[in-house]
Amino acid sequence: MTTADTTPAPENHTFEADVAKLLHLMVHSVYSDKDVFLRELISNAADACEKLRYEAIANPALFGDDPKARITLLIDADNRRLTVEDNGIGMSRDEMIEALGTIARSGTKAFMDRIQAAQGGEGAQLIGQFGVGFYSAFMVADRVDVVSRRAGSEEATIWSSDGKGSYTVAPAAVDEAPARGTRVILHLMEDTASYTERYRLERIVKEQSGHVPVPISLVEKPGAEPQEIADGAALWVKPRSEITPEDYTDFYRSVAGQFDEPALTVHFRAEGRHEYTALAFVPGSTPFDLFDPDRHGRMKLYVKRVFITDEAELLPRYLRFVRGLVDSADLPLNVSREMIQESPLLAAIKKGVTSRVLSELEKLAQNDAEAYTKVWETFGPVLKEGLYEDFERRSTLLGLGRFKTTASGGGWRSLKDYVGSLKENQTAIYYVTGTDLARLEASPQLEGFRARSIEVLLLPDPVDSFWVTAGVDYEGKPFKSVTQGGADLAQIPLLEAQENTGAPATEAVTGFIQSVKTTLGEAVADVRASERLTESAVCLVASETGMDRQLERLLARAGQLTSAAKPVLEINPRHDLVVALANLGEDQQALREDAAHLLLDEARILDGELPADAKAFSQRLARVMRRCVP
């Protein structure tokens, strides 16, 4: 009599759309270096071991009789198989479906958009930047089997896929599964069979994963004894004198999920009232999630080398681009998430690490201006958020700031440089905000400042409109917008070549400006002669007590402003067009009224806006043009 097979049949599942698209791109795109898959799998394995160590704090029985964490690479060259195995926390059936069948990262779409556009050698860099993790295995394998048993569970599950749109999940036989943890079996493609060569695997591990805090062993062939190729010694506990720049770079790539080199490494041990070690890196390129709306940091918290969480705010949000970790000797191992948020010790660590990172950036700015300039070009817009948010360190952040200005010739200037070049009787630091550097440089509001050789900061980032209005000053000099209120330039002498631009307005021009004000009525807050214009006929500015116009636009787009303030129209009383209009006879009143409205629309266009009434603008322009045609 034949016994019926009671083993459940494998369940078939389809990848969610984003995963299927990602896998297709990875398999069919060309990469200069596929080695990154091993780093990703080892990083996942190390995280699983760290998670077990953390959970075992409350439940030591999870260790069973195997308390020492390990990662093992098993080579089966005859069958073209490479296995990455760990004895970490493992996964249940549902956790495998969630972890391997879906992608929950906010950066998935951004990654896929970038990778589709990538060509040649950029692919490897993209993988490093976006940390695609487990899915990178399909670059080298035409099938991947994952067998996992969660710590403390009797049940094991096998997940299998060829990366072409679907996967299967089924119970695993007891003798096929690890006692605890996860086994990733890569069935290598024919052209990637070299990943079964010992020397190649050992080189990749040492270059990219040699400093993960879990020992890594290699089994050269089935039945052979494991040989340790990485000791799992935490890099951050070693003396700095024993660590090479290459060691730091390898560790940075492992902990940051990046494939570039760090622009700055900060490694120190704090002793005294609070004892902790910090190892932080400023990336050399822009992380994909730099402008993530959630703005979470990427610093990991360890306690006595046990990974606790990567969600503790160990740095302020304006330093969220910094990657690394803090290992505390004072926090309890069973620290809860609630305790983390409220812990005065964590607050002290955050203060100490923040101060040290900023101090190291100051040293870099002093000792290697070129390297610091690259950091500022990459992360300046984020660092400037601190000028708005962190009053305590505002002075330090202002010193770190670098700005394009009307006098910088396309380069960068510090505020120290700016203050050192102040003109006679200049009492403020002038700036103009906007969204485009070229448009800012062409702003008519800058003309009077150029005529006096007064330097103006050009601020094109959205955050600039906020921090300059937060009561900031530098060495006692307040920040003043060139598009708000009066220019206050009368006390600063003109350059010799520009002296004729300061001639007083004629009585006719004064009368014309008053008539423009009468004609425009409620459309503007005021019409006045301009000190700041030397070449253009008109410009718009905000009133002295009003909101800067760029900030007003940003708030309006965000729906945080119900109505905009009326602008002030400034007219250049020495401009040829204005003088000609002022000298028109009283019988030309209709033309003067059309000209008044057209001057306002011209100012709006120069300010990057559209005429308020396109039809009326067109009609007025047509009437004026007809007068010019015989």
Task: Give whole-number Cα distances, 237 to 217, 241, 361, 422, 467, in Å.
Answer: 21, 12, 23, 49, 39
d(CA 423, CA 490): 13
Cα-Cα-Cα-Cα torsion 301, 303, 309, 312, nearest 10 degrees, comes to: -50
Radius of gyration of the chain (CA): 33
The answer to the question of whether 40 is labelled as a binding residue is: yes
The answer to the question of whether 589 is labelled as a binding residue is: no
The answer to the question of whether 309 is labelled as a binding residue is: no
Continuous H helices in 176-233: 198-208
The answer to the question of whether 479 is labelled as a binding residue is: no
d(CA 502, CA 517): 22
The answer to the question of whether 44 is labelled as a binding residue is: yes
The answer to the question of whether 303 is labelled as a binding residue is: no
The answer to the question of whether 106 is labelled as a binding residue is: yes
The answer to the question of whether 86 is labelled as a binding residue is: yes
In order, the DSSP letters of 588-627 are GHHHHHHHHHHHHHHHHHHTT---S-HHHHHHHHHHHHHH
The answer to the question of whether 337 is labelled as a binding residue is: yes
Q: Which residues pair with 85 in a beta bridge?
A: 72, 183
The answer to the question of whether 26 is labelled as a binding residue is: no
Q: Which of 425, 405, 420, 434 is nearest to 474 (CA)?
A: 420
The answer to the question of whether 572 is labelled as a binding residue is: no
Contacts of 455 (CB under 8 A, 6+ apart): 405, 406, 407, 413, 418, 421, 430, 449
Angle between helix 36-58 and 245-256 (nearest 10): 70
d(CA 151, CA 61): 9
Q: Which of 101, 93, 100 is nearest to 156 (CA)?
A: 93
Q: Which residues pair with 216 in a beta bridge?
A: 71, 230
The answer to the question of whether 625 is labelled as a binding residue is: no
d(CA 115, CA 548): 40
Which residue ranges are tagged as binding site?
40, 44, 86, 91, 106-107, 129-134, 182, 337
Which residue ranges are tagged as binding site for ATP?
40, 44, 86, 91, 106-107, 129-134, 182, 337
